[in-house]
Structure 1
Amino acid sequence: MRRFRLSLAAALAASLVLASCGGDDPEGDEEAAEPKGTGDAQVLASTWPLTGLDVTGDASAEKKHPVMVVKIDNTASAAPQVGLGSADLVVEELVEGGSTRLAVFYYSQLPPSAGPVRSMRASDIGIVKPADGVMVTSGAAPVTINRVKGAGIEFFGEGSPGSYRDSGRSAPYNLMVRLKELAGSIAEKPARPDDYLPFGTSKDLPKGQKATSLAATFSAGRTTNWSFQGGQYRNDNTYAADGDEFTADTVLVLRVQVGDAGYRDPAGNPVPETKFEGDGQAMVFHGGRLVRGQWSKADLASPLKLRTKAGKLTVPAGNTWIELVPAKEGKVTFGK
């Protein structure tokens, strides 16, 4: 149905001249700029759905493959992580044992290889579903597989086209994927997906407060540290290969509820489940400043919405890293 609406909008845009609409004024009397990716179908086709950035030249943002989300391990055993530098967007989520795992989103470009690929969680449903994406995973517990299938998310495990074991790594941290090969095997050629975030510009953001570093603590054993350098945020404790790091224009911290997935991992650790629906506190780190707000998602499949007391809050177009920090056990600190 979404693809039909997009095609219909494209046909109408070719024959009609549409009047532009002003966005909500976040604060003050100045008119806010129209966020990227929220206009007609021609505008949508000229911006990337995961970054809001303009497509260069006359190219279209409608690729011949869906959004591809690779589950990548985020522990020292995974080093070096491969392919992060080509990602459009990354979501970090809590898993068992206090560690975190990455859901790495690819659409505008596909790296030659990505990994190490690890298993998916029920938490991924709320992360992947709004993008109409497919997941690349090493597998999952039977209960998770049933839930992911029930949510209508397609996934590709070991043995799928493009997957291989790197002999230079130790199992289970040696499963990798050649995304271009996998993408070529997927029969469905979808239309451009909807924007993953409510994109805008830096000028749309309220002034906020100065914050040139931040620490997102998921557990006693995992804190992800960021510093603002040269106009972007750099992950100070990344496991990415040198020269293949993900550099964020924005770090979006969302405080989320975490429950029990109902089973344990092979080591006996209870598996947590991030509840990526409902609402909670949001913190937008951009340009060396922090803007506070609230996030909401009507359900797991719904897009993310952001607001301040003054009205709608947008994320400046660019590469975004999303931290899903537990509201109770986690914490977020920042420095000026």
Structure 2
Amino acid sequence: MATTPTRPTSRYLGAATALALCLGLAACGGADDEQTRAASAVPIAEQPNGAPADPDTWPLTGLEVARGSSSQKHPVLVLKMDNTPASAPQVGLGSADLVVEELVEGGMTRLAAFYYSKVPQDAGPVRSMRASDIGIVAPVGGDMVTSGAAGVTISRVQRAGIDFFAEGAPGFYREGARSAPYNLFVDLAEVGHEASHAKAARPADYLPWGKPADLPAGQPAGSLAATFSGGHTTSWTHEGTGYRNVGSFAAEGDEFVPETVLVLRVPVGDAGYRDPAGNPVPETQFTGKGEAMVFHDGRLVRGTWSKKGLEAPLDLSTQAGPLTVPAGKVWIELVPQDGGEVTFQP
């Protein structure tokens, strides 16, 4: 394997730039002969904890780490995954540590799936990134895994200092049984090895982690529905110790089952260009502050979120003081303040 450069963006920029001409929302056509490979999570070797100050918890879940090491040799990998019926079945989603759902053009949503504690050998369908992703990815210094992006988005992502792997990089392949642009998949373990370096530091915690006992009592909320501008709705119901995505496109047995669904009401602006179909591209503005809703164990706790800048961590609070999220898997819904809606039932 060739030596991995410090900045994957430089290594694979040529392929990503060429793809930008055809990747507003659509991906370049053409499928290779590689057939579907079963998704399985494969842990990447952990780096011995060289910094005593590192907590013995994973940064994306807050869960305790076996053998006391919370640092991997690879950065956080953030894969942009399609979230429409055409994506079914989504592969590798169940192996993610954390998932963020964001609005894209045409009233649809796309997923930013975060991988760190383990990565799947196969994941997808992989789609293009947006400028909205900068504020989502930057707090943990993650590398993005994407089909590409519009040229203006690539420029903004580069200026933000975010590295990315695009189609043409090692590990990407077209699945012959699917149609473009929903047939781009990736061996994420191979990308992780490409991005690895021996002195990788543990990322900062993505959320203010705590224990279930730390949560205020809140109110009963056994189910919820997050509606994005344009009409897409993601619905959840509390079952056992987690939440089930009622309309999930994930493959059976590969669903992401979070212990907590965190809804953040966010402002959404215009990214300044249109997709190939002529739809204006929205841009989630993940800075400032707004309403927060923490759904955990069948209950809702209301609060406020704040984020001082694109690279800044996310803070949560109530009138009584800081608000923490119980350690575990979390799905974050970035629901627009205007045009979006959140409903729930006891």
Shorter-chain TM-score range:
0.7 to 0.9
Over 3 Å counting, the alpha-carbon distance change for 1:235 and 1:187 in structure 2 is closer
Contact map agreement 1:45 1:62 (CA 8 A) in 2: no
Maintained 8 Å contact 1:163/1:177: yes
1:200-240 Cα offsets, whole Å, 9 max, x none, are 00000000000000000003430000000012111000100
Structure 2 CA distance, aligned partners of 1:322 and 1:332? 13
Find out whether 1:114 has 2:156 as its counterpart. no
Contact preservation (8 Å) 2:142, 2:162 = yes
CA distance in structure 2 between the aligned counterparts of 1:217 and 1:95, rounded to whole angstroms: 13
Name the residue aligned to 1:323: 333
The answer for unaligned runs of 5 or more in structure 1 is 1-40
1:212 is aligned, of 222, 225, 228, to 222
| Structure 1 residue 59 displacement after superposition | 4.3
Match of 1:48 in 2: 58
TM value normalised by structure 2: 0.84
Which deviates more from structure 2 when the two are superposed, residues 212-221 or residues 136-145? 212-221
Q: What does 1:138-157 align with in structure 2 at a 5 Å threshold?
A: 138-157=147-166
Counterpart contact for 1:71–1:137, Cα < 8 Å = yes
Q: CA RMSD in A?
A: 1.0
Q: Cα 1:43–1:204, aligned 2, differ >3 Å: closer, same or farther?
A: farther
Is residue 75–residue 196 contact of structure 2 (8 Å, CA) maintained in 1?
no
Identity of aligned residues (%): 67
CA distance in 2, matches of 1:137, 1:78: 15
- Structure 1 segment 271-282 matched on structure 2, within 5 A: 271-282=281-292
Aligned to 2:188: 179
Contact kept, 8 Å, 2:105 with 2:281, in 1: the verdict is yes
Q: Structure 1 residues 204, 187: CA separation in 2 closer, same or farther (over 3 Å shift)? A: closer
Counterpart of 1:169?
A: 178
Residue 99 in 1 paired to residue 86 in 2?
no
Q: How far apart in 2 are the matches of 1:171 and 1:221?
A: 25
- Give a deviation string over 1:110-152, Cα, whole Å, max 9, x none: 1111100000000000000001100000010111000000000
TM-score, normalising length from structure 1?
Answer: 0.86
- The yes-or-no answer on 1:76 pairing with 2:85 is yes
Q: What SS does structure 1 have at the residue aligned with 2:71? A: coil
Q: How many pairs are equivalent?
A: 295
Quick check: 1:45–1:192 contact (8 Å CA) kept in 2?
no
Matches within 5 A, 1:29-48: 42=52, 44-48=54-58
Give me the whole-angstrom Cα distance separating, in 2, the residues matched to 1:187 and 1:107: 12
Alignment equivalent of 1:123, drawn from 104, 128, 132: 132
Contact 1:294–1:306 (CA<8 Å) still a contact in 2?
yes
Contact 1:232-1:247 within 8 A present in 2 as well: yes
Tell me if the contact between 1:126 and 1:277 (Cα under 8 Å) persists in the aligned partners. Answer: yes
Q: Give secondary structure in 2 for the equivalent of 1:259.
A: strand
Runs of 4+ in 1 over 3 A off after TM superposition: 41-45
- SS of residue in 2 equivalent to 1:126: helix
Deviation at 1:187, TM superposition (A): 4.8
Identify which of 283, 290, 296 aligns with 1:286.
Answer: 296
The answer to whether 1:255 aligns with 2:265 is yes
Paired residues of 2:135 and 2:286 also in contact (CA < 8 A): yes
Which position in structure 1 is the counterpart of 2:243? 233
User: 2:277 — aligned with what?
Assistant: 267
CA distance in 1, matches of 2:55, 2:269: 38
| Matches of 2:267 and 2:293, distance apart in 1 | 16
Structure 1 residue identity aligned to 2:149: A
User: Aligned AA for 1:51?
Assistant: T
- Report the Cα distance in structure 2 between the residues aligned to 1:155 and 1:220, rounded to whole angstroms: 29
